[in-house]
Amino acid sequence: MQAPPPPPPKETATTDPLRHVPPRVRPRIIPIKEISDYSELDDDEHYQRGYQQRTPLSEELEEIQWPHRLNPVVLPQFDGESDPKEVLLKYEATIEAAGGGTACKAKALVLALRGLAQRLYANIPSGSILSWNQLCSQLRASFSSHKAQRSHIMQLPQLEARKLDTT
């Protein structure tokens, strides 16, 4: 006895959408060769050559690690209008609470400055700040001279008005 022939294939394959999925087309990857002016230098040489210090802090202060608990959002902001002594006192307490030392205070100060204070900080010569105390005294001097100039300018219209009143 012979085995019966197998049943003919069912035509359900055309009705089943999962069975006739077109093959995926793989995108052709074209390698792109980077062209750079430092291709012959290794990474360390490029870093040293390409690094331009734009901060008033010394290299030693810039290399200080951030404390893990430091949250820049909680730093008191200073725009040059309020009392710098008061802001620096709050700023120091915030950094110390996060576990940062004096070097961290110097490094993180840029995060707390806005407006005029930020511009005055940016005008300090690059690499000239060697300690937190030096940075504090430089900022206090800048803002006391700025406030003196500003108060002098504010008084000029009053002096002119007094001269007009006396004539």
Q: What is the pLDDT along the chain (167 residues), one digit of tens a residue?
A: 677 777 766 655 455 556 666 667 776 766 666 555 555 545 555 445 444 557 899 999 988 888 888 888 899 999 888 888 889 999 999 999 999 999 999 999 999 999 989 988 988 899 999 999 999 888 888 877 655 555 545 554 555 555 555 55
In a domain, residue 32? The reply is no
d(CA 109, CA 78): 10
Domain presence at residue 20 = no
Instruction: Provide the residue range defining the domain that includes 141.
Output: 54-162
Give whole-number Cα distances, 55 to 48, 67, 106, in Å.
16, 20, 11
Q: Is residue 49 part of a domain?
A: no
Please tell me the total count of domains within the chain. 1
Q: Which pair of structure tokens corresponds to residue 60?
A: 């030693």
In a domain, 116, yes or no: yes
Is 3 inside a domain boundary?
Answer: no
Q: Is 25 helix (H, G, I), strand (E, B) or coil?
A: coil
| Domain presence at residue 62 | yes
Q: Answer whether residue 8 is part of any domain.
A: no
User: Global pTM?
Assistant: 0.56
- Distance, CA of 167 to CA of 165 (rounded, Å): 6
Asked whether residue 42 is domain-assigned, the answer is: no
**Integer Rg of the chain from CA:** 34
